[in-house]
Amino acid sequence: MIGAPLNRVDGPLKVTGRAVYPSEDLSFGQPLHGFIVEATIGHGRVTKLDTSRAEQAPGVRKVLTHHNVGKQGTPDMREGDGYARAYPVMASDEVRSYGDPVAMVVADTIEQARAAAMLIEVTYDITDGHYVLDGRESAAYLATSVNAGGPPEVGVGDFDGAMAKAPVKLDQVYTTPYELAMPMEPHNCLAVWNGDDVTVHVSTQIVKSARLRIAATLELDPEKVTVISRFVGGGFGSKLGVHAETILAVMAARMVGQPVKVVLTRQQMFHLNGNRAATKQRVQLGAERDGTLTAFGHDVTMKLTTGDDYVEQTATCGRGLYAAPNRRTVHRVVELDLPRSEDVRAPGEAPGLLAIECAMDELAYTLRIDPIELRIKNEPMKHPETGAPFSDRKLVECMEEGARLFGWEKRPVIPGSMRDGRWLVGYGMAAAIRPHFQYETEVRVRIDSRGAVVQSDMTDLGTGTYTIATQIVAEALGLPSERVHVDLGHSDFPKSGGSGGSWGACNTNTAAHRACVDLRQQITNAAVADVKSPLHGLDAGAAAWTDGRIVIGNASEALTDVLARLYPTGIEAIGKIDTERPNEKQPYALNTYGAHFAEVRVDADTGEVRLHRMLGVFVAGRIFNAKTARSQLLGGMIWGVSAALHEEAVVDPRYGSFINHDLASYLMPVHSDIPNIEVVILDSFDDKANELGAKGVGELGICGAGAAVANAVYNATGVRVREFPITIEKLLPGLP
């Protein structure tokens, strides 16, 4: 069962429209609707809020402003779970960035709420803000911390001395733009109060954190808050923490005494949710003439939202990738008055590998060495900084197998030398690496004569959590998949680390597996001790559970009979991952790996870039479901193509707003941009990660994918673009 390409167990519900997403639960009747009014300045204060016309508009029940929302909690920056911190909204007249909520209209219908919102008159006292990274590098300072807990700066050996002595040097700056997570389902919340208790139906990736954030913001006892998130229509990191839509929905529902629903428009999502910060990345490589790296440097400068502490871990991805005795990786930040940065899929690795893997490609051309050969030559035997052994590292195998399958030997060695009519043809490749995380998680498994029920507050973003949990428990208990029911996304269930950081599947399934092991032991021991059982007196340690039966040697008994006789009301167990980040408590460097290969065509006259084909070869331990894993990796690769060629949120330097704040102007790939993409997953079992041998795959596909495309563009044209995304305007001047 484990590894099989089982169809999604929740698929029939979704394709027939019977899957109830958070804002769609109407079991308590029709809710009122809230529409948020956003600030139209980048920095300053609200001096006047005239809501009189809005309050008199048809259907309007309430207008929320900073005058009436009441006291809210203050964020505690010492809170280790940043998603659980208080998130005050409209707590004062201050506008910290463009799009800050200044009011919300609650009305009978969304149309009435939106129409009334347009009637609110807001006057501001505008103060100077800083909105642009360019020109403010002198204000950069060393970050005090970075996301995921790594140190902001790491130095090994004598980096400056090694760079000065290196026979071959590369020193280049690569820039990446602001990017946004745009899940299919907009951010939304439906809040229902019952006395002093509130039930919050919200699209979130971490139920536990959502509950704590709501409680901290409204200064409630967390036990008074119930969070439900059965289905989530995508998140990509943007729903790890709840935002203004949730806080305002909960406050409004309490004020009007009725359920209130708030669903963001697509345009509102650009400013009311987090973004990936723009970066300037200086990569310095020092090498011998045979390609052996002697120095590795990665210095990242990025935006930090004023008053916040979120810093993407962009310079960490190279720390365990290539061997070099002298190293320096640094995160510097510049405070800007822009909407808050948060996790966007593969934070750190996605932009960081775009720079590192392009730099390695440049070094390979400088040395006239095959890019794969250069990477293999610098393959570390242990972690280059910590000295920890790698648990299961097959990066070289990924590159070699990918080269064989892709036909890498056919690549043009001289850039710009291969044509197909009007098209310049190029090949590129890049390596992928991503750490494997685990967090404290509990899963309850209950079994009776009807089957097994699995419960956790874990969420399913559409990645297949319901399905793979079904597979794990079905195999562990020897049941057919249709006799396993998985129940997720409720704060009354055992707590998990949620769905994010590629840790969700392994956390949930490791804990579920441990619960099943506990159940098997209890039930088998009881059967062996029962004189009515044909297993009586046999060796419980030799038992196998298969096809709905407990088998010991030549004796067996149906599991339903055992349960009906010994546990007529059922029996349950809770499996746990007990220690936060256990992988950091053991002496192994735990990562997933991959290699990307891309072939592009570039129009020699117009500079138009077309992806022709792409291959990703990955290793991520044991795979729970071949179909859902492949889907996740494909999606990540497509995201990488987008980062290389399409995505860029552009800031208006006058107002601190994103100019292209809709999906018509914020470009992402469409079907015609993505032709033949293939995924190959190598067999693996990482027993250092967990007893299931599995590691996360959700974000691995994006890591390095953009660099493979960018390197292919250079190979096709001889034009190296270091300012992403690669557009016609940047390519055309350099084309022959």
Residue with tokens 């308590």: 28
What letter would DSSP give residue 80? S
Among residues 604, 592, 572, 614, the alpha carbon closest in space to that of 684 is found at: 592
Catalytic residue among 409, 699, 723, 729: 699
362: region left, alpha or beta (phi > 0 left; psi from -120 to 50 alpha): alpha
Whole-number Å distance between alpha carbons of 525 and 519? 10
Beta carbons of 707 and 643 less than 8 angstroms apart = no
Burial class of residue 169, CB neighbours in 10 A (0-12, 13-18, 19+)? middle
Question: CA 110, CA 101: separation in Å to the nearest integer?
Answer: 17
Answer positive or negative: Cα dihedral of 551, 552, 556, 559.
Answer: negative
Q: Are 580 and 708 in contact (CB under 8 A)?
A: no
Is 599 tagged catalytic?
no
Helix runs in 152-197, H state only: 159-165
Burial of 252 (0-12, 13-18, 19+ CB in 10 A): buried
Closest CA to 198 of 264, 250, 123, 261: 250
368 conformational bin, left if phi > 0, alpha if psi -120 to 50, beta if neither: left
If you search the block for the tokens 């963001």, which residue do you land on?
264
Strand 188-194 relative to strand 197-202, pairing: antiparallel
Q: Which of 441, 439, 415, 442 is nearest to 426 (CA)?
A: 415
Q: Which two tokens stand for residue 92?
A: 């004062």
Burial class from Cβ neighbours inside 10 Å (0-12, 13-18, 19+) for residue 80 reads exposed
Other C-beta atoms closer than 10 Å to the C-beta of 606 total 12
Q: Taking a C-beta distance cutoff of 8 angstroms, is the pair 105, 49 a contact?
A: no
* Residues designated catalytic: 699
